[in-house]
Amino acid sequence: AQSVTQPDIHITVSEGASLELRCNYSYGATPYLFWYVQSPGQGLQLLLKYFSGDTLVQGIKGFEAEFKRSQSSFNLRKPSVHWSDAAEYFCAVGSDSSYKLIFGSGTRLLVRP
Amino acid sequence: GAVVSQHPSRVICKSGTSVKIECRSLDFQATTMFWYRQFPKQSLMLMATSNEGSKATYEQGVEKDKFLINHASLTLSTLTVTSAHPEDSSFYICSANREGASPYNEQFFGPGTRLTVL
């Protein structure tokens, strides 16, 4: 069965510092991988996705993620965090057969001024 | 473009009553909508997949008689929590898939509805 693990419940970084949010997945075939961001009172917004091809994908708001099949990981990175990046981040995996998304438990990002 | 709204954003009801939550795609037509449930500090759990004009497909463990889903038009899906109890208190989120597009490329989420059952 598909599953997604985000091992960090909370992460605090200083504004301007780099960021990496971890995501590990379990899936038999090549997965469809996503990162979403959720701000309070708002819907989930897609940051980026990986289907195939180049394993380093660029997203919106300066985020990028790297698919590493050997590690079953899809970590999200940003070189310099802004205070507005404070939010909840979800990693998700999907299959091509059902189009369902399986979400990780989320990581809450706090940004120190 | 591609905005999904939910109404109400927050609802408080007494135990035993039924609550209806609406999910609307405001500027596109959605053949498929998904309903999720999110507990505090937990992940989004898919409850059901709703297709316009047909019965919803429920995930294992989700009571279809308790969570009634209707997708009567290409812009509206409703989730009715029947005979709500305190354990049904949660954050309910819908997403909509733009008609004609792969759900993975064009799946947009609503802002969620906070349900509190007293």
pLDDT tens, residue by residue, A19-74: 999 999 988 777 889 999 998 767 789 999 998 888 999 999 999 999 999 999 99
Pick A43's closest partner by Cβ from B43, B103, B109.
B109
pLDDT at A98 over 70: no
pLDDT per residue as tens digits for the range B66-110: 999 998 898 999 999 999 999 999 999 999 887 666 656 667 899
A72 in Cβ contact with A89 (< 8 Å): no
Look at residue A93 and tell me whether its pLDDT is greater than 60: yes
Residue B39: CB partners within 8 Å, gap ≥ 6? B45, B90, B91
How far apart (Å, rounded) are the C-alpha atoms in residues B41 and B88?
A: 16
**What is the per-residue pLDDT for A7?**
96
DSSP state of A53: S
Q: Which of A23, A90, A99, A108 should be substituted to probe chain B, the one whose Cβ sees the most B Cβ atoms within 10 Å?
A: A99
